[in-house]
Amino acid sequence: MNAVFRVDASVVLGTGHVVRCLTLANALRDRGVEASFVCRLHDGHACDLVTQAGFAVEYLRLSAHYGPAAGAVDEIRLLGASWQQDAEETFAAIGGGEVSRDLLVVDHYAIDERWERIVRPLFRRVLVIDDLADRNHTCDLLLDQSLHDHPAARYSGLVDLSTRLFIGPRYALLRPEFERVTAPLRNCGLRHILVYLGGTDPTNETTKILQALQSLEPVGLKVTVVLGRNERNALAVRRAAAGLPDIEILSGTNEMAHLMAAADLGIGTCGGAAWERCALGLPSLVVVNAENQRDDARILQQMGAIRYLGDASTTTTARWGDEIRALRDNPSALAEMSRASTGVMRNRTASMQQFIAALIG
């Protein structure tokens, strides 16, 4: 069996789409599936992550008409070409009608049923990974690993009635280490904070957080900061860290599961890292920097797993300081959040087995 992934990373898109596709590709490879990728060479592409994982990549170049200027059509800005050009180039990259394929995985906000109708005939089965529910798809399976108020109705009218839906964090594509590592209930107070704002931190929340910690006189508090691969504010972050008594700054890491297990509090966004934190029962302070993160943040707060501070663009250093101080002064709140966080991923193992069986069955 073989599978082709059409996915991109960029400064605008971040790296999360590629990371979760790599997780799925590795899980399929463990089951004897040969996987390859088709990726466009955006600024901030993550093709090196794909090749380092041992998967072949077909590279698509940016269109001559591509331009990141304000006002550019979202499709062009996110895809780096028109949908027609991208579909034709993808069709050619995977061998056109000369090669039969088993599984196509599409994970891209700028691809919809128009693109899928061109490429789908080459494949026996198509999986779409989405979390926006803002466009039509033609596919056999759809995965949305986010939380929603009415998950069963979310894609009504957007996919065929025959499409199998897998919705919710129990289907989250987590790397195997998050299954292997165990973490204790956080019932000993705030001793270690892990700060990770994803592949990019456009509002430089990391610097705000470190400035807030400076004002708290964090004696006895360890701070670990993980910078994303496309982080543009690294110098400002290191300057803000100067003087903190026990701080470690990492530029990327393969040990995120161990870092999360060792921390008492996580600080970040509601992207894919939200499900990693929940898998390890890590209480979190969360902001959002994308529209598709709002439902996750709101519902996770309702469940008691996080404290949601709102939009990153409006969150202040003072607000970060107040929230960290409140948890430092209330250890029982951390334990309650840890219990709630663990509950978010209930029944995940059985759900993932069902999903993988549907893909390769």
Nearest Cα to Cα of residue 27 among 208, 219, 185, 176: 176
Q: What is the mean pLDDT of residues 6-22?
A: 91
| Residue 74: other Cβ atoms inside 10 A | 10
pLDDT at 200 over 90: no
Identify the band that residue 77 occupies on the pLDDT scale cut at 50, 70 and 90: confident
| CATH code for the domain in which residue 353 is found | 3.40.50.11190
Residue type, 332: S
User: 25-38 pLDDT, tens per residue?
Assistant: 999 999 999 999 99
Q: Which domain holds residue 24?
A: 2-172+347-360
Per-residue model confidence (pLDDT) at position 12: 83
Identify the band that residue 65 occupies on the pLDDT scale cut at 50, 70 and 90: low
What is the share, in percent, of the chain residues with pLDDT greater than 70?
96
HSE of 95, CA atoms in CB hemisphere, 13 A: 9
Same-domain status, 183 and 318: yes
Same-domain status, 208 and 295: yes
pLDDT at 105 over 70: yes
The pair of three-digit structure tokens given for residue 193, joined into one six-digit string:
């904070």
Q: Map the chain to HEC letters.
A: CEEEEEECCECCCECHHHHHHHHHHHHHHCCCCEEEEEEECCCCCCHHHHHHCCCEEEEECCCCCCCCCCCCCHHHHHHCCCHHHHHHHHHHHCCHHHCCEEEEEEECCCCCHHHHHHHHHHEEEEEEECCCCCCCCCCCEEEECCCCCCHHHCCCCCCCCCCEEEECHHHCCCCCHHHHCCCCCCCCCCCEEEEECCCCCCCCHHHHHHHHHHHCCCCCCEEEEEECCCCCCHHHHHHHHCCCCCEEEEECCCCHHHHHHHCCEEEEECCCHHHHHHHCCCCEEEEECCHHHHHHHHHHHHHCCEEEEEEHHHCCHHHHHHHHHHHHCCHHHHHHHHHHHHHHCCCHHHHHHHHHHHHHC
Identify the band that residue 78 occupies on the pLDDT scale cut at 50, 70 and 90: confident
Same-domain status, 244 and 168: no
Same-domain status, 216 and 144: no
Q: Coil, strand or helix: which one is 194?
A: strand
Residue 234 class from Cβ within 10 Å (0-12 exposed, 13-18 middle, 19+ buried)?
A: middle
**Helix H or strand E segment including 128:** strand 123-129
User: 279-338 pLDDT, tens per residue?
Assistant: 999 999 999 988 889 999 999 999 999 999 999 999 999 999 999 999 999 999 999 999
Same-domain status, 138 and 233: no
pLDDT at 67 over 70: no
Per-residue model confidence (pLDDT) at position 66: 62
Same-domain status, 216 and 183: yes
pLDDT at 68 over 60: no
Residue 243 class from Cβ within 10 Å (0-12 exposed, 13-18 middle, 19+ buried)?
A: exposed
Cβ neighbours of residue 155 under 8 Å, at least 6 residues apart?
Answer: 133, 137, 142, 144, 163, 165, 167
pLDDT at 70 over 60: no
Average pLDDT, the chain: 92
Beta bridge partners, 248, equal 224
Same-domain status, 299 and 328: yes
User: 223-275 pLDDT, tens per residue?
Assistant: 999 998 778 889 999 999 998 999 999 987 889 999 999 999 999 999 889 99
The residue ranking higher by pLDDT, 98 or 58, is 58
Same-domain status, 67 and 166: yes
Domain total of the chain: 2
Cβ neighbours of residue 134 under 8 Å, at least 6 residues apart?
Answer: none
What is the share, in percent, of the chain residues with pLDDT greater than 90?
78
| CATH code for the domain in which residue 284 is found | 3.40.50.2000
DSSP state of 188: S
The pair of three-digit structure tokens given for residue 272, joined into one six-digit string:
């894919």
Q: What is the mean pLDDT of residues 47-71?
A: 81
pLDDT at 11 over 90: no
DSSP letters spanning 146-173: S--SSGGGTTTTTS-TT-EEEESGGG--
Same-domain status, 36 and 123: yes
Same-domain status, 190 and 264: yes
pLDDT at 6 over 50: yes
- Block residue for tokens 């840890």: 338
Same-domain status, 193 and 119: no
Same-domain status, 224 and 340: yes
